[in-house]
Amino acid sequence: MVVNPTLNSSKIGRQPLNWLMTILSFFLPIALLLIVLAWLRVTPFGNKTFLIHDMNQMYSDMLAYLNTVVSGENDLTYTFSKNLGGDFLGIAAYYIGNPLNFLITLFPHINLPLVITLLVLLRYGIAGLTMNLLLRKTGALEGLDSLIFSNAYALSAYMVINSENLHYTDGVALLPLILLGLHCLLKQGRPFLYLLALAFAIWVNYYIGFMICLFVVLFAMHQNLVAMTVLRSMSRKRLLMFFSASLLAGGLTAIRLLPALLQLADGQKSPQTNAMNFSFQFGLLDFLSRNVTAAFDDFQIKFGLPSIYCGVTLTALALLYFLNTRFSAREKFLKLAFFLVMFLSFNVRILNLIWHGGSEPIWWQYRNGFLFVFLTVWTAAECWREREGISRCALWLIPPVLAVAVGIYLKRYTYIKPAFLIADVLIMMTMVGYLSMFSERKERSIENLGVGVLTFGILVVNAGAILTQNLSAATTVEEFDQEYNRTQLYLTNLKMED
């Protein structure tokens, strides 16, 4: 993997590990989300919980089931808790494959809402940590700069909207680690991190793991085309190593993957070949409207557009990449092509179905949205690193931004709050104007701090606005306790009568 052709490759991956940045990258997104949870009075700060939608109806029972697995009452291969009994391996492979979920066995069942909050928080922390490691180990960014972008990735709208869908956010956390392994493989000939990280991602959730596999191929192609050509930048030996490690990663998970796939073949989620056509599913303005702060309502969970928001500051930087003189026309063309491929992957029906294994998702559409988020964060990080190349020509970005904002406002999207739209435009215009005027300043500490605080604030506000709506109908701690005590009383009486 090549970060930038102009970067001194001898420095890549050889910088001493900054333990402070590593620790902060894990705990900072957790701390920011804790601020939101305290504001909304979500357990442990109040009565609200993440027991909403499928977490309340399905996932919480599966997580609680792990307690009985550890106690020896049940196992992960077959269960009598499923109607009259049946295979459980496929369900476990999809929903609760992450060993992190076994933390639930350390707590009494009555504490399930609190443990679910803990599991949610840990995913945010791990996503921030792995993204930060990728940025620093590849030489993309260092210090506070790396924290800004790793937190934007961890607190993206995709993560917030899917907070209770732990099996989706696992992929968000693992993607940067896989790409760091890809870097080690292609640049240093060391395949082990890539092999193990990819195998673990498939093991944890083969559905999201499949999407990651597709994205890794696209990302490797793009990065090496930027360097020059695949054959020049990647030796045939490394190319063979890449494909061999990818196949071996799938092979290592076969013991779990094959039974799950066989179960799917017997079920109702077979590929929808009759729905595979080349129709477009939404317009460009519809897509861009999802990049506004707090662009969310209940409809978005069921039938909404891709969750691609990662902060208006990063959106501005990603756009400024294409006006940055430090990047060649060839690099900009390849980056634009990559974004276009991802956009078409959402928009063209047959491509969208392929990314989702041939089946239309039920609720939470476009589950590969985190891949677009990563591409945006990575592009913004590249632009920020080379921000000296932002000239006054960047001011030409303001008219199209205003035109898009006016178009979004006139279409009256139900999930757009005009106040947030206006604030986003003002922030973007201010940032573009400042960078176009003062990009060559040598003193960066105050600038970094300002952008960092602004980005963190925007992410907290966005998370708060989304979770306010998303958790409004969640089961409360009090309701859970009442139901738990009622169930325990019923089971006690049943055992006495047995």
DSSP 209-272: HHHHHHHHHHHHHHHHHHHS-HHHHS-HHHHHHHHHHHHHHHHHTHHHHHHHHHHHHHSS----
What pLDDT sits at residue 96? 82
Q: Please, are residues 128 and 154 in contact by the beta-carbon 8 Å criterion?
A: yes
What pLDDT sits at residue 273? 58
Torsion angle in degrees (nearest 10) through CA of 144, 149, 152, 158: -150
What pLDDT sits at residue 16? 52
Distance CA 213, CA 240 (A): 16
Per-residue pLDDT tens, the chain, 498 aa: give them: 545 443 444 444 444 557 889 999 999 999 999 999 999 999 999 999 999 988 888 888 888 888 878 777 777 777 766 666 666 777 777 788 888 999 998 998 889 999 999 999 999 999 999 999 999 999 888 888 999 999 999 999 999 999 999 999 999 999 999 999 999 998 888 999 999 999 999 999 989 999 999 999 999 989 888 876 544 545 678 888 899 999 999 888 888 777 777 766 655 555 555 667 788 889 999 999 999 999 988 877 878 899 999 999 999 999 999 999 999 999 999 999 999 999 999 999 999 999 988 778 888 889 999 999 999 999 999 999 998 899 888 899 999 999 999 999 999 999 999 999 999 999 999 999 988 887 666 666 777 888 999 999 999 999 999 999 999 889 999 998 888 888 878 878 877 776
Longest dimension (CA), the chain: 82
Cis status, amide bond into 44, omega within 30 of 0? yes
Torsion region of 360: left, alpha or beta (phi above 0 gives left; psi -120 to 50 gives alpha)? beta
- Let me know if 407 is exposed, middle or buried by CB neighbors in 10 A (0-12, 13-18, 19+): middle
Nearest residue to 374 via CA among 429, 320, 318: 318
